Amino acid sequence: MTQKTINSAAAPHPLGGYAQAIEVSSTTRRLYISGQIPVTPEGSVPSSFQDQAKLVWANIEAQLCEVNMGMQNLAKVTIFLSDRKYGLENRQIRKDVLCGHAIASTVIIAGIFDDDWLLEIEAIAEA
């Protein structure tokens, strides 16, 4: 699989370390990851946004590892935040977790299924 970052000069340049689009060629496998939540396998939920976000990304990585993929295979994520006040912290954690890997990304401020959850992330990966 080859991924090419697309940031057209005819549109605004993205802020925050994501790509406006990702072109994927020669895809042999695609993984759709359901919304991952900030819950440990034992059922606990951290209280801070940072700990919840890191846990959600770890849960995404667990799904990727299960099919011999990694974070570099992510092509698109949709992040649902319970409040816009987490926007900048979310951006920094995403950038840290992805280590410079640019992906297509959308952030939506929405009511989350459980009041204790501060975010949920769904993803698409390709290999």
Query: What pLDDT shows up at residue 27?
Result: 63
Contact residues for 81 (Cβ-Cβ < 8 A; gap 6+)? 87, 90, 107, 108, 109, 110, 118, 119
Q: What is the CATH number of the domain that holds 81?
A: 3.30.1330.40
Number of domains in the chain: 1
Provide the whole-model pTM: 0.85
Q: Which domain holds residue 98?
A: 2-126
Low-confidence ranges of the chain (pLDDT < 70): 27
Report helix, strand or coil for 76: strand
Q: 10-46, pLDDT tens digit by residue?
A: 888 887 778 888 888 876 789 999 999 999 999 999 9
Phi, psi of 34 (to 5 degrees): -60, 165
